[in-house]
Amino acid sequence: MNDYSDMITRVSDHWKRVFGKKVYKLNFHGDFTCPNLDGTIGSEGCVYCNMKALEPLKDIETDSGIEDHMNYLKERNGAEAFIAYFQDYSSTYPAHGVKNRLKYLKELYRNAVSHPGIVGISVSTRPDAITKAELDILKSLDTDVTIELGLQTINEEDLEWIGRGHTVKQFSSAVELVSSYRFETVAHIILGLPNETDAGIFELAQFLNSSKIRGLKIHQLMILKNSRLEKLYKEGKATEILSEIEYFRRLGILVSHLKKDIVIHRLYADAPKKDLIEPLWCANKTGLQDRIFKYFKENKIKQGYRIYSFSSGKQP
């Protein structure tokens, strides 16, 4: 097995240090929606979002289903412990049919962390969908807590293009709030947005380096079926989608300017083949990670190795 631990700060190593075990995430579902879909902030959603078209996730897991999944990860990957992961929609934002939303969240989260083998909880949400009320509930669980927050970009024009419905300032305020609870924050960002430049990626790295985030998930822009971006794509109005090598190049700029104590949770996104329109190079995950690290090796890219410098137009 390839070992890339000298190139980036890997989440698997981070969890091993924190928990002393080989830890995997386990997906849990709830009855959630998103303020950018339900009309509170917007009703169209982010340009790449296809969640509105998905079937409602009604099948809250059964205990035996969770056990089966745990056993599968133990046998296949040698998992020794698990983090309960909530990532549907904005996972701090229950759907409108939920009567007492805080009570619902409390029971849902508490039930998830009560399973033997669960050592923490990770909740993915928007910066404008998390307040002290949800954080107090998570604190009361008395377990390791991580909050994943969508930032996507610090370019306000691109935030507008996405239709995110929040600002960079709101992201920074949410990170401050989460940090005041001593929870870890993981930022989500996207490479390949229309107004992105090499200098802009460098600025993004500097922004992340100076924030209180502890982790980062990096995704390429994808065109998914049933998203607004699919419609733009069909009308010939979508932004250019990055080739694999161009994505690697931009990823290299970001990673090489990112300080080493930011844990990298993801270097690329994947989507079920049935939902993916572009880019097709990410349709087959097998080998993609190896190709990224091959590119890093050939171009002498390591996390943080160019943290104080930036030269536009040159290879990172």
Q: Which residues bind ligand SF4 (CB under 6 A)?
A: 34, 36-37, 45-46, 49, 51, 89-90, 126, 150
CB of 54 to ligand SF4, least distance (A): 10
Q: Cα–Cα distance between 153 and 43 in angstroms, integer?
A: 21
Q: Nearest distance from residue 33's CB to ligand SF4, in Å?
A: 8
Strand partners, 149: 125, 187
| Shortest CB 119 distance to ligand SF4, Å | 26
d(CA 60, CA 304): 41
Measured in degrees and rounded to the nearest 5, phi and psi for residue 200 equal: -65, -35
Output 9 or 124, the one with its CB closest to ligand SF4: 124
Which candidate, 273, 271, 266, places its Cα nearest to that of 218?
Answer: 266
- Our CA angle for 133, 14, 149, nearest 5°, is 35
In angstroms, the CA 58 to CA 286 distance is 31
Q: Please, what is the minimum distance in Å from the beta carbon of residue 126 to ligand SF4? A: 5
CB 80 within 8 A of CB 22: yes
Residue with Cβ nearer ligand SF4 (9 or 36): 36
Question: Residue 222 Cβ, how far from ligand SF4 at the closest point, in Å?
Answer: 11
Nearer to ligand SF4, 126 or 249 (CB): 126
Q: Quick one: 167 or 209, whose CB is closer to ligand SF4?
A: 167
Smaller CB separation from ligand SF4, 23 or 108: 108
Cβ-based neighbours of 131, under 8 Å, separated by 6 or more: 177
CB of 278 to ligand SF4, least distance (A): 17
Q: In whole angstroms, what is the distance from residue 154 CA to residue 159 CA?
A: 7
**278: three-class secondary structure by DSSP:** strand
274: three-class secondary structure by DSSP: helix
The rounded distance, in Å, linking the Cα atoms of 161 and 163 is: 5
Measured from the CB of residue 57, what is the shortest distance to ligand SF4 in angstroms? 12
